[in-house]
Structure 1
């Protein structure tokens, strides 16, 4: 409290920033340690808010930017950690006024790591690398503040700086740019503007050239996930290489990257028929013969959907979007018969149907089965699965089931009608069960209408 009253931190920061204490001297090191200790204690007692935090942070950043500070890793790390103590109370101010300068500090940290490694000062390099990660987390928090998108135009200096970093060879800068730009792209208008400007091509290049950094791959995939949300962007991204890169991520041994790939494919295939064509009909350049009866780009997707891993649900939903797209293109599409005869489509749909905690996802599984049942090969495939009572129970809806989606009864009627119409040689007991279900649901719908 006494330190706050005397504004000790402000006095020390002013002396350091104006280099009234010689940079690199023992006195400077002691002053920086005292500044960190004072600010840290004040942050623990909430007295830090009583200071002019933006002014104090600006002074600290000024010294972090000077060459003398960058050449002293110990002081650089301690001052960097001091600056980070202000992020929680000054996020909006940082996003509005100081973000560009914080990026400078992050870049200085990255450059310092490279220099220290070249000089074989590995322990100091590790210390600065640890700071760079903390700085990245701080920048991430600031870039999610309301003021960040509102204060930075697409042609402004901060966004131009980040777009330039996408073209740099340093992985940490690319990763930082992908994270910050992903946080910036929170509106469809911004996402569409980015794709029109060709930003997606830069990110696809990062994915293609980065096979040794899971963190960078994850950040790039996350950014593309934002760009893939607007309907206007889907086809351009699909034919711009994002589908192939998503399939690469899906085949990764890293669960987080598998989930990224499945999520991207789900977004790109949702209500985008050109992308459905692309996945089903195109063979990637230089690929070997497919190991399944599906198209080559479907192989990893089908495998992921049949596992219990983190990518399972998104991969299964992507399969549903493919199935729906093929039916919209025409139920007699030759690919449908191949997919149904091989039984590979049924597992993803049953996977969705089991998601009782997510009615929308469950409804996709039910509609997928209903679409299958509208063709003879598909009906036979669905029937094989429904011979298992556990699977048959999944499509039985009751009034006391709060999780069912509004359209599930209609989809169930659609499914049962297809089965009864398209399967001639059906077990009499099963036909009786399905007929009874159809009649009960029809009566319920009539009562509602």
Structure 2
């Protein structure tokens, strides 16, 4: 059996699903300390404290001068007048004011910077107070630019990066200054990022006294500043915050939690963070999503992040190898107990997107070659999925069909699913229900996999697969459903006289009913006439070609069933060869075109078939292709893109058999003028063969 393609997600609750215990014995779940220790350090820009001595009174005087400058900065102009910087900024025009504030602010701050260096070097007791004064000032937008240009921001970044034992108050106010200075100020954010100081700030997450400030500081640096995004991701911010959240280290402050979840999602969107994250990050995301008190907004954030990791093969394999697929299923199931404001379009869409992403991730995971090894058909997970096929929730049904469909990728498994587990019965009941397009599409995809195994075709047909899919040929709102439903009809009749008979059986047993002279194939031909989809038209053509390939050769042995089926095929289905024409005129699959020529040749083997072929040849495009296929000029085509010579010869041979059979069996069925055209084509090709 050829390997099937993984089923894709289309557009799900049943009984509850308990959360299993994941196998985490070898899962990489490092502590925050270990993660931080694995990051290279950023050198401190400050010399060690205590390198100079300064009298306490001098320290106090220095602090008061600093405070005076910051709290009421006064500059003397050339004329000797004094100006309060705040008043100056308010009184001047915006452009002039910003220019004067920037230059004078930086100049004024030279003395402040010098004072800070001295207070630092003498390990002054006033250092914390000085830091607080400056941090308070940084709340005013007018100070942010000067603090960056005047070196104040860099000084406090140096304080934060110091390896010495620093008083928590100093660190707290240093963080405040950095966070305030970076609010909506890209110039200062650049200073932080260029020095990789985000790593320094993240280290302070471990300090319970500082985490409530350090997280908002990182948030201020990152918001609307893309250069910071890649850096925090590379510094493993997502994993660090998730681990802290899981360990309840962040606390229950709602604003702080919101910052934390936003940063996790932001970091997870960056390729650097995904590539370098520990394997255990997906378990942390799942466990937080399963929290009993999780709300929609945070659930959606976690799912967006989880999806970013599970798009990668490495994390898909991790999910399978560490028995986390059950946990991921629980994450999907959990979504149905999260409160959603149905009157809010945004909330409804958010939840729908979250479920879809979990389902897509489960589809990718189940497509992994490792999946069938860890979760065989006999596993509890497979049994759970089987029960979800007929669940009340769409996304659970889709999940079950996709995952089990991906498991059904060998004859052995497909046969066990049908012959032993009877999964096809649930799937057919879905097709007969009022399920939405996404559910129908996923169920059909699963059935297509099951129908590949030859022994399953009769069982599927006996269970009513043909009537079930026939109602979906009119499912105009979702063309993918129509296509898949047509494909299954073709699959189940391959080499099966019994199933062909079912496809050609009347829609009603009542001899007086008009439906008695219509068959399931009639419904398929109606779809052909209505649809604009070339793939659907081609698929219908392949179905008819399959009938001819199976039944026509049996005519030579005077098989009564074959004769009856061909009579039904031609007598009750006007235009039955037209879908074969669609096979020939399509250009995407040369092999399918060859299959079409062969099918027309088989049709022309009988008088009734010749009538159908003649109808098909009234399509000018088909007739022109016949002429081109048989002409000697076609083989001497000088085009740059040469067709496959073997394919060309095969098409020509099939087309020649077609015209020979037509001339032998048409008995006047060809329209006026057509016989002469066909004779000319046959004669020309015969002369070409004789000249070789």
Aligning the two structures, in what range does the TM-score lie when normalised by the shorter sequence? 0.7 to 0.9
Q: Are residue 203 (structure 1) and residue 427 (structure 2) matched?
A: yes
CA distances 1:220-271 after superposition (whole Å, capped 9, x unpaired): 1111111111222111112212211211111112222211211111212222
Q: Distance in 2 between matches of 1:195 and 1:245?
A: 17
Contact 2:235 2:273 in 1 (8 A): no
**Greater shift in the superposed pair: 86-95 or 427-436:** 427-436
CA distances 1:177-234 after superposition (whole Å, capped 9, x unpaired): 112222222223322221122111111112222x241111111111111111122211
Q: Distance in 2 between matches of 1:405 and 1:183?
A: 37
2:303 to 80, 100, 107: 80
Q: Are residue 350 (structure 1) and residue 600 (structure 2) matched?
A: no
Contact 1:166 1:178 in 2 (8 A): yes
Q: Are residue 140 (structure 1) and residue 363 (structure 2) matched?
A: yes
CA distances 1:337-367 after superposition (whole Å, capped 9, x unpaired): 3543563212112122212432221122212
**Per the alignment, do residues 30 and 136 of structure 1 end up closer, same or farther by CA in structure 2, a change over 3 Å counting?**
farther
Equivalenced residue count is: 437
Q: Distance in 2 between matches of 1:205 and 1:393?
A: 46
Partner residue, 2:385: 162
SS of the aligned residue for 2:257 comes to helix
Q: Distance in 2 between matches of 1:187 and 1:319?
A: 27
Note the C-alpha offset of 1:384: 4.7
Q: Are residue 178 (structure 1) and residue 414 (structure 2) matched?
A: no
Contact 1:182 1:223 in 2 (8 A): yes
**Per the alignment, do residues 21 and 313 of structure 1 end up closer, same or farther by CA in structure 2, a change over 3 Å counting?**
same
2:267 to 17, 23, 41: 41
**Per the alignment, do residues 281 and 150 of structure 1 end up closer, same or farther by CA in structure 2, a change over 3 Å counting?**
same
Report matched runs for 1:88-107 at 5 Å: 88-89=311-312, 90-97=315-322, 98-107=324-333
Q: Distance in 2 between matches of 1:233 and 1:387?
A: 39
**Per the alignment, do residues 376 and 125 of structure 1 end up closer, same or farther by CA in structure 2, a change over 3 Å counting?**
closer
Contact 1:385 1:391 in 2 (8 A): yes
**Greater shift in the superposed pair: 410-419 or 195-204:** 410-419
2:666 to 410, 423, 441: 423
Q: Distance in 1 between matches of 2:373 and 2:687?
A: 54
Partner residue, 1:340: 570
Q: Distance in 1 between matches of 2:674 and 2:456?
A: 46
CA distances 1:411-434 after superposition (whole Å, capped 9, x unpaired): 223222222222344689644543
Across the aligned residues of Structure 1 and Structure 2, the Cα RMSD in angstroms comes to 3.2
SS of the aligned residue for 1:68 comes to coil
**Per the alignment, do residues 179 and 258 of structure 1 end up closer, same or farther by CA in structure 2, a change over 3 Å counting?**
same
Q: Are residue 270 (structure 1) and residue 486 (structure 2) matched?
A: no
**Greater shift in the superposed pair: 314-323 or 11-20:** 11-20
Q: Distance in 1 between matches of 2:483 and 2:428?
A: 17
Report matched runs for 1:234-313 at 5 Å: 234-254=457-477, 255-283=479-507, 289-290=513-514, 293=517, 295-310=518-533, 311-313=536-538
Structure 2 residue runs without a partner (length 5+)? 1-195, 200-231, 557-561, 638-642
Q: Distance in 2 between matches of 1:181 and 1:212?
A: 19
Q: Distance in 2 between matches of 1:149 and 1:163?
A: 15
Contact 1:36 1:79 in 2 (8 A): no
SS of the aligned residue for 1:146 comes to coil
Q: Are residue 438 (structure 1) and residue 682 (structure 2) matched?
A: yes
**Per the alignment, do residues 170 and 18 of structure 1 end up closer, same or farther by CA in structure 2, a change over 3 Å counting?**
same
Q: Are residue 14 (structure 1) and residue 243 (structure 2) matched?
A: yes
TM-score scaled to structure 1, two decimals? 0.86
**Greater shift in the superposed pair: 321-330 or 172-181:** 321-330
Partner residue, 2:614: 383
Contact 1:372 1:379 in 2 (8 A): yes
Partner residue, 2:454: 231
Structure 1 residue runs without a partner (length 5+)? none
TM-score scaled to structure 2, two decimals? 0.57
Q: Are residue 64 (structure 1) and residue 289 (structure 2) matched?
A: yes
Q: Distance in 2 between matches of 1:284 and 1:102?
A: 47
SS of the aligned residue for 1:168 comes to coil
Partner residue, 1:371: 602
Q: Which has the higher helix share?
A: 1
Partner residue, 1:394: 625
Larger radius of gyration: 2
**Per the alignment, do residues 128 and 383 of structure 1 end up closer, same or farther by CA in structure 2, a change over 3 Å counting?**
closer
Q: Distance in 2 between matches of 1:130 and 1:220?
A: 21
**Per the alignment, do residues 63 and 429 of structure 1 end up closer, same or farther by CA in structure 2, a change over 3 Å counting?**
closer
Q: Distance in 1 between matches of 2:487 and 2:622?
A: 26
SS of the aligned residue for 1:271 comes to coil
Contact 2:508 2:515 in 1 (8 A): no
1:320 to 532, 545, 569: 545
**Per the alignment, do residues 409 and 88 of structure 1 end up closer, same or farther by CA in structure 2, a change over 3 Å counting?**
same
Contact 2:510 2:516 in 1 (8 A): no
**Per the alignment, do residues 427 and 343 of structure 1 end up closer, same or farther by CA in structure 2, a change over 3 Å counting?**
closer
Note the C-alpha offset of 1:328: 4.1
Contact 2:507 2:516 in 1 (8 A): no
